[in-house]
Every structure is written in C-alpha cells, then in structure tokens.
Amino acid sequence: MPMAAPDSDNALRPLVRNEPLRWVGSGDSLLETACLDALFPSGKLLRPTLCVESAKAVGGSHEHALAFAAGIECLHTASLVHDDIVDQDPVRRGRTSTAEQFGIAEALVAGDGLVMAGIAAMLSSGPADRALEASRVVVDAMRHMCRATLRETEIRGNLSCGLPTVLDVIRGKTAALTGAACQAGAILGGAPPAQVTALRQYGERLGMAFQIRDDLLPYTAGDQVTGKTAVSDIANRQPTLPVLLAYESADEPDRQRLTAVFRGTIDPLTAHHDVLDVVTRTGALNKAAQQAHSYAERARAELHGLAQAERLTELAESAAARQR
Amino acid sequence: MPMAAPDSDNALRPLVRNEPLRWVGSGDSLLETACLDALFPSGKLLRPTLCVESAKAVGGSHEHALAFAAGIECLHTASLVHDDIVDQDPVRRGRTSTAEQFGIAEALVAGDGLVMAGIAAMLSSGPADRALEASRVVVDAMRHMCRATLRETEIRGNLSCGLPTVLDVIRGKTAALTGAACQAGAILGGAPPAQVTALRQYGERLGMAFQIRDDLLPYTAGDQVTGKTAVSDIANRQPTLPVLLAYESADEPDRQRLTAVFRGTIDPLTAHHDVLDVVTRTGALNKAAQQAHSYAERARAELHGLAQAERLTELAESAAARQR
C-alpha cells in the first residue's frame, strides 16, 4: 500500500526507527533481546536518514530505501556493540553498553546477529540489480571500517602516527559508511551515475565533518551531553585529530605533557585535564573545528543540482556544528 | 576464460582454497593478516565443497558457484573465530586460535572482516537475481547460527535442557549453513525448485550427521586427531547429544556423576574420564552414532534423480563415519 512521502523528519523518524524491528524480531530469544537492547532507544539515526534522504533527493520515494536504511542502522549498531568490546567501554548512548549488560560473548554474538539482520534487510530492497549494487557498496564500506578499527588499535599511544593516518582512520570508521549510505540511497532511488557519485562524495565529506566534531566533543561537552565518557579516547590512549594537531604545533614542554598522557601512566581525569589544556592553548581545537566546517562546506557543494536536498543541506551543516 | 570442470576433489580443492584470497586480500594490513591466518591452512572445506558440488549436481558448472563457495568458507571461518572467543578456546584446527594469537579484540574484528569479505564474494556471483536469492538463503542460515550460539551458552551446565533443544542447537550451529550451502549451489546452478528443495534437505541432514559425529569425537579420538582439545565441551559444561542420551538412560549413581561434572567443580581431565565412562556404559555413544548414520542415510535419499551426485553421496557417507 503506497504511502504519502513524509515531508519532515517528524514523519520519517518513526518509520526509520520501527523498520529494524521487522528484521531483528520481537525479542523471544536471548539473541533478539540483546539486539533490541542495542538498537533501542535509537541514536541519531544519521546513516539511515542519509540513505532515505538521498533516495528522495534523486526523485525516488522514501519507500525505495526504507528497509535498506534499516539494514544500515543494524550494521552501524553492530559496529558500536563490537567497538565497545574492543575499547572495553561500559557506556554507550548514555546507557550501559551491550557488553557491560549482557557479557562480552553475548554482545559479540548480538553484533553478529545485527549484521545478518541488517544484510537481510538490505537484500530485500527493491529490484534485484539495485539491491545488489547498493548492498555491495555498503559491504565494501564495512570492510573499510574493519580495517580502520584495527588500524586504530595499532596506533594507540602513538603521537607520531601522523595526520594522514588519523584522517584515514576517520574515513574508514565513519566516512566510508555515511558515504555508502548516501550512495546506496541514490542507487535505490534510480539516480544517474553523476548523482550517485555526487551523493557518495557528499556522504563521505559529511562523515568526515561529523567524526572530527565527534572527536572534539570530549573537550567541549560533558558526559551527560555526549552520552559517553569524555575520557574514553584518552583512557584508550587513542590519538585523535585535535590531539595530533596539538602535538604537531606544541612546544617542547607541552609535547612532553602529551607524551606522558599517551604513555598511559597518568590517571584518566588528570590526563583529560592536561590534554584539554594543551589542545586549547595550541589552538588545535579551533583548527579541528575549522576542518570540520570545511568538510561540511564541501559536502554541501555536492548537492548542487539535486531536486529535494534541503534536509541533506541541513544535515551537513549540523554535522560540523553539533554539540552532542 | 572458461575452464574444464575438474573431475575430482584433487582438481577442485585448490580452486576452493585459493578463491578466498581474492576477497580477503594479500595481507598488507593487520586485518588481512589475521583473516588469512584464520583461513589458512584451510580445514575440511566441507561447506564450499557442498556448494560447488550442488551446482554441478543440477547441471551447472563449478564456476557458477566458486566465488560464492569461497564466501561461505569466509563466513564459516568467521564463525569459528568468534566461537573461539565465546568458548575461550585456545586451539583450532590443531593450531593456536586467532583470539589466542592476535588477542580478543583483534580476533573479533578479523571475524567481522571475514564476514564482509564473504558477503562481498557472494554478492559477486553470477546473475543478480540468483546471487541475491542465494545470498538471502545463506544470510538466513547465519542468523540461525547466531541464535543457536547464544542458546548454547544458555544451556551450559543444564543436563535437563532436553534432546529437542540440543538437536535445535546442532541444526542452528551446523545444519543450517550446510543446508544453505547446498541450496545456494543449486540456485546458482539454475536448478528447478524441486531440486533446490532436495539439495537443501540433503545439506541439512548431512550437517546433522556431521555435527553429531563431531560431538562424538572427544570420546573416540585423541586431541592430535581432531585438532582441538577433547575436553573443550566438558570444560565449557556444554551438554552434547551423547551426554544427554546418557543422562536420559542412566541410573541414579551415573546421573549423579554427570551432574557433578556439569556443575563444573571437577578438574577437566577427571571430568572427561567420568563422562567417557558413563556415555560408553549407557550405550549413548552407539545411539548417537546410529543417529548420525540415520541422518546421513536420509541425506543420501534426497540425491535420487540428480545427474552428478557421486561426490555428494560420498560426502554424506563420510560425514557420519569420519574419525576426525
């Protein structure tokens, strides 16, 4: 039964939020219970929204992309569940992480179950050739994400890993999937190749802006706002963009302070305070914020010529400006 | 470039073994290194062989199914890598498990990477409609596997969980994927619906026979033969078919011995000796072996009417009789 396309997020959000239920099940096994706990209450739904809005921007209907978008959200949530095992993070979206609540083994399998539910949803979407092409794009992005996740563990504590490496990790961990979500939406909406490429670029740049901003939040917002512990990156000795920018422009005493923090011998709260001090004083926070805005700007530029791109324009703007 | 279809396993095995390399990469990142370590040296290659032989049995060429079969092997290997995290098993295929060698976080992400490489391989196989249908079948089997993996953790130490539950776990953990491998091969080979159904049934029953036999091996073969620790199931207090059969027909003193073992307070070697004693004396080993043969027999019966099913017939026979 065809439905009128919703005009606003208010109409779209419940659809995007409820769709994963169809693919995960209603919770009558431990697997489903753990998967649902990870999915709900849902987060920002950025990736599925990007997918649906991209389909609409090329003249498709939201229905062309809704199941697929739900699949992407399942894959994204799976990556968060597994990330919290890798990083030993007890908190996610302001709540106990799946690993903390159900146990590591259970969270691992729940993540696997979410991956399979997500792929099943994606493979169910529309004509075979489009579903296949869009699925390939997303699966490829997920492979990039895996590579970046391990690269991230390799550079722990390493302040000399270099900006290109950190930008590569951001690309793999976030921008690959936001780019794929937009590209898949465009494919499902029946876009010509030029629009598919433009939306892919848009999504990647938006993802870069989003993640750079995300790495700034521990220095600009409290735990209660971001829903995760502000000291998590530092506790994991993870060099992020603001820290690398600070390290590259710092004088010797500040470099030594950062080095001490990333050796992992200072207690996390003091460490966070020390890093906050250096990233602020060196202007690294401002530089990183500028980079986020620049990516967002270049994302918006790709939307030129698309019919219904207001929402995508807004999303690019808010990606670089968000406070949570 | 078309190749002559290989007549025997000797010709097919290298193809099945080398194909995953195309999808995982050559090892120039930590992710690829860990994935390759998990894949090679390869195991029995049962599932990809089933997939390719099923395609051939319905008149298709092995080439129709080769990339897809490689994808299934990647998914299966991913499940082993994750299983060894769940079960805390340090040994797999006679070697150090991926988790033991690379660390839990690294093994987790390597498993995720293998899943994505596997799905990419599957989605690349042949005409879009067939690739999509076959992929759906395999993804659905993987969801069953996740459900069964968590069900398995739930029944740890529980000798009263009942035979149907244990058979369900076997179905989900093994038979679903062997069935899907055969069904997918038939779909890719262009089989009519009746042959697709028959090969699905064949694969499921073969998988039941294979897994029941697998659960018997700790009592009939040494570590050096199976390549995994004979006491692993008991150390994990995992009720398997022979143990449940023994429990259901044992007298009170033997029940108490089993109960003590599955309470987890007895050292693993003594525990293994006690269980071996009871499963032998109660005739449970023979009963389970008979069930394996019965499933294999019923698997073979499904092959009636297929053109080139000699190899599938052999595989069913060896599934129930194998000593490793």
Class level of CATH domain A12-42+66-124? mainly alpha
**B6 has pLDDT over 70:** no
| Structure confidence at residue B215 (pLDDT) | 93
To the nearest whole Å, the CA of B198 is away from the closest chain A CA by 24
Arithmetic mean of pLDDT over chain A? 90
Q: Angle, nearest 10°, between helix axes A66-86 and A9-24?
A: 70
* Helix axis angle, A284-301 to A268-281, nearest 10°: 70
Q: Do A147 and B29 touch (CB under 8 A)?
A: yes
Q: Does A4 contact B at CB distance below 8 Å?
A: no
- CB distance B132–A136 less than 8 Å? no
Rounded mean pLDDT, A259-265? 90
| pLDDT tens-digit readout, B202-244 | 999 999 999 999 999 988 876 555 555 566 778 789 899 999 9
Judged by CB atoms closer than 8 Å, whether chains meet at B132 and A132 is answered as yes
3 state DSSP class of A208? helix
| Residue A264 pLDDT > 60 | yes
What pLDDT does residue B324 have? Answer: 67
Instruction: Report the pLDDT averaged over residues A136-163.
Output: 96
Q: Tell whether B82 is within 8 A of chain A (Cβ).
A: yes
Q: What pLDDT does residue A113 have?
A: 97
pLDDT band with cut points at 50, 70 and 90 for residue A59: very high
Average pLDDT on A216-233 reads 68
Global pTM reads 0.93
**3-state DSSP assignment of residue B96:** strand
pLDDT at residue number B220: 84
Of the partner residues A105, A115, A139, the one whose CB lies closest to the CB of residue B153:
A105
Contact A139 B147 (CB under 8 A): no
Using the predicted structure, report yes or no on whether residue B3 has a pLDDT greater than 60: no
A227: left (phi over 0), alpha (psi -120 to 50) or beta: left
Nearest to B139 among A116, A132, A149 (CB): A116
**What residues of chain B lie within 8 A of the CB of A23, using their CB?**
none
Ordered DSSP codes for A7-64: SSHHHHHHHHHHHHHHHH-SS-SHHHHHHHHHHSS----HHHHHHHHHHHHTT--GGG
Please give the structure tokens belonging to residue A1. 């039964």
pLDDT at A51: 97
Under 8 Å CB pairs connecting chains A and B tally to 122
Give the nearest partner residue to B115 out of A104, A115, A136, using CB atoms: A115
Would the CB atoms of A116 and B82 count as touching at under 8 Å? no
pLDDT, residue A19, reads: 82
Q: What are the chain B neighbours of A135 within 8 Å (beta carbons)?
A: 119, 123
pLDDT value, residue B20: 80
Q: What is the mean pLDDT of residues A11-20?
A: 73
Chain A CB contacts of B147 under 8 Å are 29, 31-32, 113
What is the three-class DSSP state of B17? helix
Q: Show the DSSP H helices in chain B as ranges.
A: 9-24, 30-39, 46-57, 66-86, 98-102, 104-123, 128-154, 163-170, 176-188, 193-220, 223-226, 232-235, 241-249, 252-263, 268-281, 284-301, 310-321
- Comparing CA positions, the residue from B2, B114, B9 lying closest to residue B52 is B9
Per-residue pLDDT, B22: 85
Quick check: B63 pLDDT over 90?
A: no
Q: Does B17 touch chain A (CB under 8 A)?
A: no
Q: What is the pLDDT of residue A118?
A: 97
Q: Where in chain A is the domain with CATH 1.10.600.10?
A: 12-42+66-124, 129-324
Q: Retrieve residue A261's tokens.
A: 């923090």
Residues of B in contact with A117 (CB under 8 A): 143
pLDDT in tens, A154-177: 999 999 999 999 999 999 999 999
Number of residues that this document lists for chain A: 324
pLDDT confidence tier of residue A304, bands split at 50, 70 and 90 = very high
| A288 touching B (Cβ < 8 Å) | no
The class of domain A129-324 in CATH terms is: mainly alpha
The mean pLDDT value for B15-20 works out to 76
Distance CA A315, CA B177 (A): 41
Amino acid at B36: L
The CATH class for the domain spanning B157-324 reads mainly alpha
Between A26 and A261, the more confident residue is A261
CB contact (8 A) between residue B150 and residue A109: yes
- Chain B contact for A82 (CB, 8 A cutoff): yes
Check residue A2 and give its pLDDT: 34
Confidence category of residue A7, pLDDT binned at 50, 70, 90:
very low
